Structure 1
Amino acid sequence: MPKKTDAEIAEFQDALLRSAKQAVEGNYARVHTPEEIVRRRGRPVGSLASTRKSATTIRLDEEVLAAFKATGRGWQTRMNNALKDWLKTHQLI
């Protein structure tokens, strides 16, 4: 374990003194129960999207996938919306 520098020790001591002063003044941190800390996985209950989603595997041209991924976070939703828009103007056989 690397040795702490004098500046790091001084910073820790200052933070500790601030915390003690806040406690004396009655400013306590809120304590969370384990139930509040647990993060749920998956889609949030009561989320805005009312449609159900299904996981699937699909093979796409690299250029199509790269173009959607280049748009950043949410690219899968944008791809889904593009497919829904396409369905509005095309008939499936």
Structure 2
Amino acid sequence: MPEVQVFMAAGKTDEQKKNMMCDITNALTENLDCTAESVTVQIIEAKWSHKMKGGQTFEERRAGQTPYERDQALRGGRPDLTQQGPATQADRS
């Protein structure tokens, strides 16, 4: 009966968290030859002000970012392709 605990800063949507837990469950069932019913995945969230890295809380780290960087961090570092303009020739090479 595998059990996984994921520690993370709060802020992701319920859908994002459910998708992540499903992916973890699938990885465990594929690699450990167990059933999904035997897998437990738990998310343990902390407020941004209650989590620290490099001597700064996540809230402090976020406050020091530009709005673009902050937006990227909230999306997990993934670019928001819907906000970009048309691609240039340089982008295609």
Q: Using structure 1 for the length normalisation, give the TM-score.
A: 0.23
Larger radius of gyration: 1
Select the structure with the greater relative contact order (CA < 8 A; seq sep ≥ 6).
Answer: 2
- Greater fraction strand: 2
Q: Using structure 2 for the length normalisation, give the TM-score.
A: 0.23
